[in-house]
Structure 1
C-alpha cells in the first residue's frame, strides 16, 4: 500500500509548497522509491482552463488532456513522472460530481453534506490510481485558515486514520520573517499557523520554514518546543540560486531523512544525486550566455509562462550557457516603440502562445523582424499562427488574419470544430462553452524526412501536447510554401499543420503544440536545446 505525505501551507501564500513537494519527491525517487504527486485546489472553478493567466499563472496540460495547476509542471520537471487527469482536483470538480450524483438520485434520498459526502470524494481522489506506488505526495492549495480549504483539511485528517497513522505524514510549510528593524527572525507566525492547523486535528510531523536568513539552532529549538516537533524536523528553507538546487539544499538540511523517520523507515538506501549535481554544475559554471526576447501579452506575470521560462533554462543547460530572458510586451510595438531597437540586441526571438487579439500586430512585427534579419525565431501555438499570417501578408495577401480576432476574408487561421483524440471524435460548436473544449492533450504528428525539425527530433513521428481552438488553414499551404514557409509536420491524416519552418533561415520554427510542457532539466526538449544552440551561434555574430 502506498504511503501518503500531505503538504499544507501557513502564514502566507506563495511559499513554494509545490516546489518543496517536487523536490521531496525527487529525493525519494533518488533513493529508489516510486512516487506520484497530487494537487488539491480549493477554488470553485472546475479547472483553471477559463482563468486569466494574471489570476492563476499558466495552465499546465497533461498527456490525457487535463487543464491543471502550474505546480504539476514542477512535479513533472523534477520527477519525470507524467502527470494525469487524476493528479489535480478542485472544489469545483468535487462539487460538480456530487451535484450530478444527487440529481441522478445516487444518494438514495440522503441529505448531501460536506461530511461525509464531500470529504469522502476528496479521499477517493487521493487514493485513486495509487497501485504500485511507494509514496503519494498530496499538496493542499491555499493557506491554513482559508475557509474554502476546510473540507480538504478534514479529509486528510480522516484519511490518516483510514490508512493508519504509520502510513501518513503531515508536512507544514511556513514563513519565518526577518524583521530588519529588529535584526531578528520571528517565529511567532509559525507558532500561530501550527496552532491553527492543530485546531483542525492535524499535528504536523515536519515543519519546513521559509526564511531569508539562516535559522539559528536556538530558533529551531524554539519552534520545535512550541510546535510539538523534534528540532531535527524543523527544516530551514532559504532561497536558492536556482530552483534546481532546491533538492540538494533540502537533502543537506535533512528533509528526506526526517520524512522517512516519521514513517519509521530506518533502512532506506542513500539517494543518488549525481543528476542534480550535474545540473547545478552546468548552471553555476556556464561557458557563455545568450539573450532571448520573449514577445508576449502576459509578460507582467512571469508565472503565465512558467513552463516556457524553465524550458529555456533547460536549453541553456543542454548548451552550457546562461539564458537571459528579456520579457517584451507585444503591445508596445503597436504603440510606436521601435521594433528594431528592442529586438536587435536579442540572440533569439520567441513568440509564445496566448489568446485574443491584444498584442497580435506586435507579435507579427516581431516575426517579420526575425525573418528579415535572420535572427533565430521560435513560434509556439499562437506564435506559429502569427508566423503564418506574417508569411501570407509578405506574399501579398494583405488581409490575412485569424477568425479568432473577428470575421476576415482571408482566414489563414480558423476555428477548429472537429478533431480526433484518444477520447474519440470531439466537436466544438462556435459560441459554445469555453471550459475544456479546446484540442487538449497529446496528439501525434508526422515530420517530413528532409526537414530541419525531423533532424532536431531525430525521428519522423512525435507526440506533443496541445491547447488551442484555432488551426492554420491547410488551404493556404501553397502560397505559404511559395514564400518559403514549409509545412514540416502534419497530423497523421494530413489535415492539421503541426510544424512550419524556413529552410533558408538559420533557425525559424513554428509549432502548433506546446513543447515547453515536456521539457525537463535532465532531459531538455530537443526544440529548446536546438533553439538555444542557434542563439549561441547568433551571439558570436553580433
Structure 2
C-alpha cells in the first residue's frame, strides 16, 4: 500500500492527509478559507487543529489568520452577557498552540465595551479585533454589521494584502429592505420526513431550500412563511391552506406514501407544486398510479418487485451496485440539462439569463452528455435512482412534459425536469436547483414557484 509497511499512526499520518487535501484544494487561489466545525475541545477536531498548526509552520505565521467564532449567552434568569465560555475556548485553543487573531462574538445583543475589554485582555489581542456579531432579523444583514466593524479591512491588514475594490452594497441593501418590508406574504408547506428530533423541529434540515425561497421572496417583495410538515402525520386536506407545496429530496420508504398523497392532492386541486429530486420521482409514481391507472407503479427503492418500476436504476448504476454495493453509485455534482423550447422550465431559465451563462461554463464531456442541439443549463445532483426510460413515452402520452433531459454518452436518456401544462404550476426536477440559488441571483425554478404561490394567495384574498 501507500505506506509501504510503515506503522500507520494517528499522528502524523491523519493530519498529513488533511494537509494534503487542503493544499490540493488551494491550488490556483490566493486565499483559502478553512472551517473547522464543531466546538473547541471536541476530540474529533484534534487532527484538524494539528494539521492547521502544521500548515502555519510550513508557510509562516504571516500567511495564516485564525478567526474564532464564539457565543456569548445571556441566561434568561440572569439577564447578563457571560464571557466565560469564550474565555475557556481561547484557553483550549492556546493549549493547542493556536492564538486567535480575530474573535467574532455571536450573541443575542451587540457586544458592549465591558465584555469587549474583558475578551481583549483574556485573548491578548487588540480591542479592534474583537468583533461584535449580534443576532439580526435576517442573515443577509450580517455583511452590513461586518462592514461597520471594518472586518474586511482588518483581515486584509493581517494578511498584508491591499484591497482591490470597494464593494457596492446598493443592490444588496435594496433586497434586504424588501425582506424587512415585504408587500405581500405567502405560506408554503414543506412535506418531508427529516422534520423532528425529539420535541424540536429541525428547520436547518432543508436549509438550502429555505434560503432559495427567501432569495426569490426578496426579489419579489414577498415574505415566504414555511411550515415543515411530517409526511407520516400529514392530513392532505390541510394543504388547501397553503399557497404552494414542496416535496424535497430524501431517501427510503419512510414517508413515501404520505408524500405521494400530498402530490395527488395538489395536482388535483391546482395548488402550486415543486418537487426536488425524490420529489420528482414521487410525482412520477403518483401520476403513473392515478392517471395511467398503474396501481402497482412504484420506485424500486421502495418495492423491488413492482410490476411498473417507473423509477429504477439505469443499467450502468445497476452494474456499479452489483460490483461495489451502494458506495460510488450516486450521480453527484453538476450535469447539463437540455431544455425544450416552449416549456415553462425553458421560459424560467431563459428570462433569468441562466441559459446564456451556463452554456459558457467549461464542463467535461461526461457531465455535458451527448449534445442534443438544444439550449442547456447546469444544475447539481445527488441521487441514485432515475425515471425509468422504458416508461417515458407512456408518461408523455398521458400528459407529462419532460422539459429537460440529459443523455449519457452511452445513449441513456435521463429525465431532468417535468411539468404539467394544464396545472397552474406543477414542476419537478431530478436536480437540486436550490444549491445554485444566491441572494443576488435566485434560482429560476424557485422564482417561478414563488410567483405562482403569490398569485394563488392574491386570488384567494381578493
How high is the TM-score relative to the length of structure 2?
0.87
Taking the TM superposition and a 5 Å limit, the aligned residue runs for 1:321-400 are: 321-333=222-234, 337=235, 339-340=236-237, 342-394=238-290, 395-400=292-297
Residues 417, 429 of structure 1: 8 Å contact kept: no
Structure 2 residue 300 is matched with structure 1 residue 403: yes
Which digits, 9 at most, give the CA deviation of each residue in 1:126-164, with x for residues without a partner?
222434423211111222211221121122112112112
Residues 214, 236 of structure 1: 8 Å contact kept: yes
Taking the TM superposition and a 5 Å limit, the aligned residue runs for 1:480-519 are: 480-492=395-407, 493=411, 495-519=413-437
Equivalence for 1:234: 130
Counterpart CA distance in 1 for 2:29 and 2:38 is 26
Offset of residue 118 of structure 1: 2.6
Residues 212, 434 of structure 2: 8 Å contact kept: yes
Counterpart CA distance in 2 for 1:379 and 1:222 is 51
* Partner of residue 163 from structure 1, selected from 50, 59, 71: 59
* Partner of residue 453 from structure 1, selected from 334, 338, 345: 345
More divergent stretch after superposition (176-185 vs 428-437): 428-437
* Partner of residue 86 from structure 2, selected from 182, 190, 193: 190
Equivalence for 1:468: 383
More divergent stretch after superposition (443-452 vs 257-266): 257-266
Taking the TM superposition and a 5 Å limit, the aligned residue runs for 1:91-130 are: 101-102=2-3, 105=4, 109-130=5-26
Equivalence for 1:477: 392
Offset of residue 511 of structure 1: 0.9
Taking the TM superposition and a 5 Å limit, the aligned residue runs for 1:24-173 are: 101-102=2-3, 105=4, 109-173=5-69
Counterpart CA distance in 1 for 2:402 and 2:241 is 29
Offset of residue 268 of structure 1: 6.3
Counterpart CA distance in 2 for 1:251 and 1:134 is 22
Offset of residue 176 of structure 1: 1.5
Counterpart CA distance in 2 for 1:371 and 1:385 is 15
Offset of residue 509 of structure 1: 0.9
Counterpart CA distance in 1 for 2:422 and 2:166 is 52
Residues 144, 196 of structure 1: 8 Å contact kept: yes
Residues 299, 327 of structure 1: 8 Å contact kept: yes
Counterpart CA distance in 1 for 2:125 and 2:72 is 16
Offset of residue 374 of structure 1: 1.1
Residues 321, 329 of structure 2: 8 Å contact kept: no
Structure 2 residue 456 is matched with structure 1 residue 538: yes
Number of aligned residues = 427
Structure 2 vs 1, CA of residues 449 and 265 (structure 1 numbering), >3 Å: closer, same or farther?
closer
Task: State the 4+ residue runs in structure 1 displaced beyond 6 angstroms.
Answer: none
Equivalence for 1:311: 212
* Partner of residue 147 from structure 2, selected from 231, 245, 251: 251
Q: In structure 2, the residue corresponding to 1:133 is in which secondary structure? A: coil
Structure 2 vs 1, CA of residues 122 and 532 (structure 1 numbering), >3 Å: closer, same or farther?
same
Offset of residue 499 of structure 1: 1.4
Counterpart CA distance in 1 for 2:387 and 2:436 is 23
Offset of residue 529 of structure 1: 0.5
* Partner of residue 441 from structure 1, selected from 308, 333, 350: 333
Counterpart CA distance in 2 for 1:478 and 1:538 is 32
Gaps of 5+ in 1: 1-99, 420-425
CA RMSD of aligned residues (A): 2.0
Equivalence for 2:443: 525
Counterpart CA distance in 2 for 1:390 and 1:120 is 50
Offset of residue 430 of structure 1: 4.6
Structure 2 vs 1, CA of residues 389 and 343 (structure 1 numbering), >3 Å: closer, same or farther?
same
Return the structure number with greater relative CO, CA threshold 8 A, min gap 6: 1
Structure 2 vs 1, CA of residues 321 and 115 (structure 1 numbering), >3 Å: closer, same or farther?
same
Counterpart CA distance in 1 for 2:424 and 2:165 is 48
Structure 2 vs 1, CA of residues 266 and 364 (structure 1 numbering), >3 Å: closer, same or farther?
closer
Residues 417, 430 of structure 1: 8 Å contact kept: no
Gaps of 5+ in 2: 197-201, 356-374
